[in-house]
């Protein structure tokens, strides 16, 4: 039968205009459907149809035998039905990341996992939204790790949970990059010198991607003992490796690298009655070796760019003799045209070293605020807040709220973004009072998107048990406000939408009960 079929197939492919169609006498035992194919197109097609039917009817599976290992039977429990339904909705269509994050937190806090059927959609989302990954990993469960191991795009789910036996170095010898990194991290955590020794052993023969992945592991337990190794890495062929090495050396107190940077910075920035600036004339080889980039970003001057990088990599302690506090130093008269560059560099240093005193002084100096501020300075200023301790942040917010003049909405939003959530009760009360005052002024007029964003931030940080008092506040606004020609006033509509936001979060909590 196969013979007849392949004869028909090749004849049909060439065409009877060019090749003779086969005359086939079919053995009855071979095929009961056709007995003879004469050399016409119709006959060939009818035979092909009959054979196709026979082939379709005779379709059979391939004995394959091997079933891959199933997912482990034991796993974390799943949340109650309403919470599972909620996740379905959250993952369907346009994902609401704020609420999805809350769902994942609620599940992770309770030691629950996402239902198996939702895992693919969740993994696909977290594949692009990296911020969701740690929580996704937390709720993946055994089923999730089993599933992720079968699809390379999801390997990050399984990798984070690598269990390392530091005594058994087969993982270091034979494992994947992620497994080897995990192994190195574990060894370094137990014994910093042993970790570095492991790295030194293999360093000359590792490919660049491996070197770039392994070197950051040294940040944990970093000391002067690592200095020689890191100095050597400044001469690495791979740029990423050199950058990591420079970062490590900048953090290492007393390192030669720090001394080089201090020397450069102090020669460019000179103290006196005012701060004099003598920016570098060139970006020489030794500067480039220490990670200073020669080419400035678009719009920046070369010399200012070199100066900024050097000062940003210099320990802030180098400036202590300029004045008695960061605030004093920032307040000093500075060579015209150089203040912004200098403050930006100090801000970068404050963020890098998490120096709260400098950060607060920079915020108070007004760095990165105002109409003319460039976007990257605004972003840098926001990250200064992340350096401040929670109590300081709450305190600053309270001061902004109780000031006689109304606070700048942007500044309030920036500090709130860094404040601990849910808001401590005192802060929550002050924020709701502020919200109420602002909303009363809105009434019929236009609600600015800026205020809307701030209001949403305020509500998103409220503890969910604030729902009753918030509902009462909404009703209060409703009673006070006069409906306009187009139905509810702007104020009431804003409060309604905020209430809905809060009640969704409240409901989500209850769904996990």
Binding site for another protein (CB under 8 A): 8-9, 12-18, 21, 40-42, 44-53, 55-71, 85, 88-89, 92-94, 96, 116-117, 119-121, 143, 146-147, 150-151, 474, 483, 485-488, 496, 499-500, 503-504
Q: Which residues, in sequence order, are bridge partners of residue 25?
A: 36
Supply 491's token pair. Answer: 């104020």
Q: How far is the CB of 138 from another protein (least distance, A)?
A: 17
Q: How far is the CB of 485 from another protein (least distance, A)?
A: 7
Q: How far is the CB of 160 from another protein (least distance, A)?
A: 18
CA-derived radius of gyration, the chain: 34
Q: Which residues, in sequence order, are bridge partners of residue 334?
A: 275
Supply 349's token pair. Answer: 């240093």
Task: Give the span between the Cα atoms of 80 and 341, in whole angstroms.
Answer: 55
By beta-carbon proximity to another protein, the closer residue of 64 and 174 is 64
By beta-carbon proximity to another protein, the closer residue of 337 and 483 is 483
Phi-psi region of 334 (alpha: psi -120 to 50; beta: other; left: phi over 0): beta
* H-only helix segments in 269-301: 285-289
Task: Give the span between the Cα atoms of 365 and 508, in whole angstroms.
Answer: 42
By beta-carbon proximity to another protein, the closer residue of 44 and 430 is 44
By beta-carbon proximity to another protein, the closer residue of 128 and 167 is 128
> Own/partner pairs for 487-491, CB < 8 Å, 24+ apart?
489/443, 489/444, 490/442, 490/443, 490/444, 490/445, 490/446, 490/447, 491/439, 491/440, 491/442, 491/443, 491/444
By beta-carbon proximity to another protein, the closer residue of 119 and 126 is 119
By beta-carbon proximity to another protein, the closer residue of 69 and 513 is 69
Q: How far is the CB of 149 from another protein (least distance, A)?
A: 11
Q: Which residues, in sequence order, are bridge partners of residue 269?
A: 277
By beta-carbon proximity to another protein, the closer residue of 116 and 316 is 116
> Own/partner pairs for 24-32, CB < 8 Å, 24+ apart?
30/1, 30/4, 31/1, 31/4
Burial label, 378 (beta-carbon count in 10 A; 0-12, 13-18, 19+): middle
By beta-carbon proximity to another protein, the closer residue of 46 and 378 is 46
Task: Give the span between the Cα atoms of 233 and 410, in whole angstroms.
Answer: 43
Q: How far is CA 172 from the centre of its chain?
A: 27
Task: Give the span between the Cα atoms of 125 and 136, in whole angstroms.
Answer: 10
Query: Where do we find the tokens 């809307």?
Result: 452
Q: How far is the CB of 174 from another protein (least distance, A)?
A: 24
DSSP at 506: H
Q: How far is the CB of 67 from another protein (least distance, A)?
A: 6
By beta-carbon proximity to another protein, the closer residue of 18 and 295 is 18
By beta-carbon proximity to another protein, the closer residue of 21 and 393 is 21
By beta-carbon proximity to another protein, the closer residue of 57 and 404 is 57
Supply 38's token pair. Answer: 């004469």
Task: Give the span between the Cα atoms of 176 and 159, in whole angstroms.
Answer: 10
CB burial of 479-510 (b: ≥16 within 10 Å; e: otherwise) equals eebeeeeeeebbbbebbeebbebbeebbebee
CB atoms within 10 A of CB 121: 16
Q: How far is the CB of 36 from another protein (least distance, A)?
A: 16
Q: How far is the CB of 133 from another protein (least distance, A)?
A: 18
By beta-carbon proximity to another protein, the closer residue of 203 and 509 is 509
Q: How far is the CB of 500 from another protein (least distance, A)?
A: 5
274 in Cβ contact with 333 (< 8 Å)? yes
CB burial of 56-73 (b: ≥16 within 10 Å; e: otherwise) equals eeeeeeeeeeeeeeeeee
By beta-carbon proximity to another protein, the closer residue of 42 and 205 is 42
Q: How far is the CB of 65 from another protein (least distance, A)?
A: 4
Supply 172's token pair. Answer: 């270091």
From the list 35, 31, 33, 15, the residue with the least C-alpha distance to 23 is 35
Q: How far is the CB of 87 from another protein (least distance, A)?
A: 10
The terminus-to-terminus CA distance of the chain in angstroms comes to 66
């Amino acid at each position: 039968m196969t013979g007849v079929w392949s004869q028909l197939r090749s004849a049909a492919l060439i065409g009877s205009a060019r090749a003779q169609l086969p005359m086939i006498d079919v053995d009855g035992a071979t095929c009961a459907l056709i007995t003879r194919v004469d050399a016409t197109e119709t006959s060939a097609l009818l035979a092909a149809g009959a054979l196709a039917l026979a082939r379709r009817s005779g379709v059979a599976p391939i004995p394959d035998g091997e079933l891959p290992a199933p997912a482990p039977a034991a796993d974390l429990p799943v949340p109650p039905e309403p919470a599972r339904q909620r996740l379905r909705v959250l993952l369907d269509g346009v994902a609401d990341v704020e609420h999805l994050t809350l769902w994942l937190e609620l599940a992770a806090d309770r030691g629950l996992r996402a239902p198996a059927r939702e895992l693919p959609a969740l993994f696909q989302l977290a594949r692009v939204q990296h911020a969701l990954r740690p929580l996704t990993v937390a709720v993946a469960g055994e089923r999730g790790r089993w599933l992720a191991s079968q699809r390379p795009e999801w390997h990050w789910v399984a990798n984070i949970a690598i269990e390392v036996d530091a005594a058994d170095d087969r993982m270091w010898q034979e494992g994947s990059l992620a497994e080897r990194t995990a192994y190195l991290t574990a060894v370094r955590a137990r014994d910093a010198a042993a970790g570095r020794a492991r790295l030194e052993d293999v360093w000359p023969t590792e490919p660049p991607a491996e070197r770039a992945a392994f070197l950051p592991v040294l940040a944990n337990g970093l000391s002067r003992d690592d200095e020689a190794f890191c100095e050597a890495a400044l001469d690495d062929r791979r740029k990423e490796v050199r950058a990591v090495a420079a970062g490590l050396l900048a953090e290492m107190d007393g390192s030669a690298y720090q001394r080089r940077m201090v020397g450069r910075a102090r020669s460019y920035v000179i103290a006196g009655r005012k701060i004099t600036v003598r920016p570098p004339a060139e970006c020489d080889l030794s500067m480039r070796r220490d990670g200073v980039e020669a080419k400035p970003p678009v719009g920046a001057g070369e010399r200012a760019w070199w100066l900024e990088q050097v000062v940003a990599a210099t320990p802030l302690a180098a400036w202590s003799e300029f004045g008695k506090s960061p605030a004093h130093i920032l307040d000093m008269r500075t060579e015209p045209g150089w203040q912004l560059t200098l403050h930006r560099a100090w801000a970068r240093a404050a963020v890098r070293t998490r120096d709260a005193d400098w950060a607060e002084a920079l915020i108070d100096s007004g760095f990165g605020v105002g109409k003319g501020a460039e976007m990257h300075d605004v972003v840098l200023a926001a990250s200064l807040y992340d350096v401040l301790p929670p109590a300081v942040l709450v305190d600053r917010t309270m001061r902004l709220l109780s000031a006689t003049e109304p606070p700048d909405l942007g500044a309030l939003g920036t500090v709130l973004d860094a404040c601990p959530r849910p808001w401590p009760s005192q802060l929550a009360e002050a924020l709701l009072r502020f919200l109420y005052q602002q909303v009363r002024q809105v009434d019929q007029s236009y609600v600015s998107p800026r205020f809307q964003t701030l209001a949403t931030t305020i509500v998103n940080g409220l503890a969910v048990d604030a729902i009753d008092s918030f509902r009462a506040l909404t009703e209060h606004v409703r009673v006070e406000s006069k409906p306009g020609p187009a139905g509810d006033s702007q104020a009431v509509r804003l409060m309604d939408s905020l209430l809905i936001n809060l009640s969704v979060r409240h409901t989500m909590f209850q769904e996990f009960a």
